[in-house]
Amino acid sequence: MRRLVTLLFALLCLSATAAMAQIEVRAPGQQSIAVANTELLPLSGLPLPAVARELREVVSHDLDMSGLFRQLDPASFLDDARRPGLTSTQVDFNQWSLLGTEILIKGGYRMQGGRLLVEFRLYDVVHRRLLTGRSYSGTQEDVRTMAHKFVDQILKSVTGKEGPFSSRIAYIDNRTGHKELYLMDSDGANSLRLTDHRSIVLNPDFSPNGREVTFTSYRPGNPDLYRKDLGTGQEARLSSQKGLNISARYRPDGREIALTQSGSGNPELMLLGTDGSKRRRLTNHWGIDVDPSWSPAGDRIVFVSDRQGNPHLFVMDLLSGQTRRISGNGKYYATPAWSPEGDRIAFTRQEGSVFDIYTIKPDGTDERRLTFGPGNKEHPRWSPDARFLVYSSDQHGGRGIYIMRADGTGIQRISSSGGQSQHPAWSRQR
């Protein structure tokens, strides 16, 4: 009897191991990438600690904002962190894998003829290989841009899609006493005033090539549409119909502009050429039609209309002219923005007395609320890679520009205090 039982046990065990043919792992145990962000070192000449620190800080900020990484404590770095390590043979990967590092940022800098040369390297510690390397040259003013550009490349290495950090954000600010157009980096640094209309400037939009910005200005005594060339600074008035010339949005191919004009006596969506010439009328309805936003393919437009009573979101197919409401049972929807990926539309919706940001699929399903808490969050716009949303909020008193990840995490104010900032628009990559 005993022997039989032991035999059975043995058999059972054998069977069990045979059945171990498959192991299912249903989620990664580590849901962020361990990155070592070392400080860049002087390749020749004197060390520039301020430059090195700023490069590291900007990289660190962008890495955090992406949500992809957990940054290892520099205090734990071993002596390899003190070698520039510009080739994979120079890097002691053992040290880094000992710390649990998965990817490693190294590099160096030097001054050459008054210009700053910066070399960045990104290594895969597990595979012990170089993932990407970039060198940048510029003045010391360009340090932040260099760091942003490299993090854009890091994201590309890790996800296949470039990051948005070197792109810029246009917005409206009233710190001069008038609402004027401003431009700043994606982290709020290097803010710069672009207009001097001393009137009211509103609602900017970047051309897809990033070289021009359109906006509405009251300077002529009527809300007219302007275009500004960011390179030359030249301004041109594109549309000066009697009444409104507002909420202009470039078609993603850059060839046309959709906007709201009320020259006909009623606010309607119109299509203009980029020279301001009238192409065609998109809506013809007694209701208010405003805030168009293009699908990435440029074949559909989402907009706000009160044709069914309250302001709701509608999607219009430009070919067929068919228009369909996509918003649900809320009472006030506003400022839709179609994701550059095409899969979702961000918008604001009023619940109680407060506007919050939501996203929805273009077919009107799967509505998700992204922001909560007090204060109005308005005018969401997507980053060019669709990873982030920029918006304005008065949640901390005084309206400022904020960014967050597309899932509503990582909320961060980027505009400085001192003025009321609103109407952000995110440029394409530069």
Partner 1 sequence: MKRGGIRISMQVLLMVVFAAMLAVGCAKKPAATTAAGEDQAGAMQTAQGVEEMGAGETGVGESMIGDESAMSTPQAVSSLERIYFNYDRYDLSPEAQAILVNNANYLKTNSDLKVRIEGYCDERGSDEYNLALGERRALATQKYLESMGIAADRLSVISYGEEMPLDPAQTEAAFAMNRRAEFKVMP
Partner 2 sequence: MTTPSFPPRNEPNLFWLLAISLALHMLVFVLFSGVLSGGKQHERRPVYYVDLTKMPVLNPQAGRPDGGPAPKAKAAAKPTAPAQVSQPTPQPAPEPKPSESKPTQVASKPTTPQPTATPQPTSTKPGLKPAKQDAKPSDSAPSGYQSVQEKMAAMRQSQQRAQELAALKGKIAALSGDDTSGSGSGAPLGMPDGTGDEIGVDQQTWLQAFYKENWSLSKYQVTRRDLQATVQVTYSADGTLTNYRFIDSSGDAAFDDSLKKTILKTKTLPFKPGRTLQFDVVFNLKDLMD
List the one residue from 40, 58, 68, 315 that touches partner 2 (CB under 8 A). Answer: 68
Q: State in angstroms the smallest separation of the CB of 98 from partner 2.
A: 6
Q: What is the DSSP letter of 114?
A: T
Query: How many residues belong to the site for partner 2 (CB under 8 A)?
Result: 57
- Binding flag, residue 310, partner 2 (CB under 8 A): no
Under 8 Å between Cβ of 246 and 202: yes
List the one residue from 311, 340, 362, 384 that touches partner 1 (CB under 8 A). Answer: 311
**Residue closest to 127 by CA, chosen among 91, 168, 181:** 91
Quickly list DSSP for 77-101.
Answer: --GGGGS---SGGGS-HHHHHHTT-
CA 39 – CA 28 distance, rounded (Å):
29
Query: What are the φ/ψ torsions at residue 11 (nearest 5 degrees)?
Result: -60, -45
- Stretch of 12-20, 37-45, 320-328, 345-353 lying at the interface with partner 1 (CB under 8 A): 345-353
Identify residues 2-41 at the interface with partner 2 (CB under 8 A): 4-5, 7-9, 11-13, 15-34
List the one residue from 26, 75, 309, 329 that touches partner 1 (CB under 8 A). Answer: 309
List the one residue from 44, 87, 90, 94 that touches partner 2 (CB under 8 A). Answer: 94
CA 98 – CA 134 distance, rounded (Å):
26
**SS3 label, residue 141:** helix
CA 426 – CA 406 distance, rounded (Å):
14
* Binding characters for partner 1, 171-210, by CB under 8 A (x = yes): --------x--------------------x-xx-------
- Binding flag, residue 365, partner 2 (CB under 8 A): no
Under 8 Å between Cβ of 73 and 99: no
**SS3 label, residue 65:** helix
List the one residue from 48, 55, 58, 72 that touches partner 2 (CB under 8 A). Answer: 72
- Binding flag, residue 421, partner 1 (CB under 8 A): no
Q: State in angstroms the smallest separation of the CB of 181 from partner 1.
A: 15
Partners of 257 in the β-ladder: 250, 272
- Binding flag, residue 240, partner 1 (CB under 8 A): no
Return the number of other C-beta atoms located less than 10 Å from residue 313's C-beta: 26
List the one residue from 61, 149, 377, 423 that touches partner 1 (CB under 8 A). Answer: 423
Q: State in angstroms the smallest separation of the CB of 349 from partner 2.
A: 21
Partners of 171 in the β-ladder: 182
Return the number of other C-beta atoms located less than 10 Å from residue 76's C-beta: 12
Identify residues 76-115 at the interface with partner 1 (CB under 8 A): none
- The CA-based angle 321-428-63, given to 5 degrees, is 125
Q: What residue ranges bind partner 1 (CB under 8 A)?
A: 179, 200, 202-203, 218, 221-223, 243-244, 246-247, 260, 262, 265, 267, 286, 288, 290-291, 304, 306, 309-311, 332, 334-335, 348, 350, 353, 378-379, 422-423
